[in-house]
Amino acid sequence: MNGSITTFFYTTAVLAGVLALLCFLAVRKMRSVGEKAAVTAFILLSVLAVGMETYTAVLIHSHTKFDRAIWISDRKPDGIHSLRAPMADDVMHNYLHVGMAKKDVIKLLGGPDRNWDGSNEEMYFLGRWGIGNDVYSYISISYSSSGRVNSIGFFETT
């Protein structure tokens, strides 16, 4: 697991703990059994939701060695079952580099899944994750006018 995901995981765990503690303290002061049950259910659902979000974030960003055949075969990844997503770190840090020719990127990764008209930016879809699979992840590659990689980044949108 890379450093930013580890930091995200621990931050989320601490926030979930603080939320649970605050709700626990609020429940202790309540007198009605109905109020206590409602707040307890809220606590459990909140912790479960945060846990699911963290789990899918870690799953999609876990580190796996790049395999071109798998990458190409997973052309349209769906949901958290993406085969590309776990390879993203390896691709970005060990295969792609600034100055690389666009033709070499296409030879490595295949054609892009998305590019913007009139733009030198192309994206490779990694998958969807999050509660409701509403977060879309991409590797974003921008090219210079001479067809060389200017920048490589990780991009997410909802």
Q: How far apart are CA 16 and CA 110, in angstroms?
A: 40
Q: What's residue 133's pLDDT?
A: 62
How far apart, in Å, are the Cα atoms of 115 and each of 22, 78, 122, 140? 46, 19, 4, 9
Helix, strand, coil abundance in the chain, percent, nearest 5: 55, 20, 30
User: Which of 40-44, 98-102, 152-156 has the highest mean predicted lDDT (pLDDT)?
Assistant: 98-102
Task: Judge: domain 68-157, CATH 3.30.1450.
Answer: yes
Q: Could you read off the pLDDT of 39-61 as tens digits, one per residue?
A: 777 777 777 776 666 665 555 55
Asked if the model's pLDDT at residue 131 lies above 60, the reply is no
What integer pLDDT is reported at residue 78 of this predicted model?
59
Dig out the tokens for 48 from the structure: 């479960």
> Which of 14-23, 45-54, 84-93 shows the lowest mean pLDDT across its residues?
45-54
Question: Rounded CA gap, 24 and 7, in Å?
Answer: 26
Asked whether residue 119 carries a pLDDT value surpassing 60, the answer given is yes
- pLDDT band per the 50, 70, 90 thresholds, residue 32: confident
Q: Hey, where are the domains in the chain?
A: 3-60, 68-157
Q: Compute the distance between CA of residue 42 and CA of residue 150 in angstroms, rounded to an integer.
A: 47
pLDDT recorded at residue 6:
55
DSSP 8-state code for residue 91: I
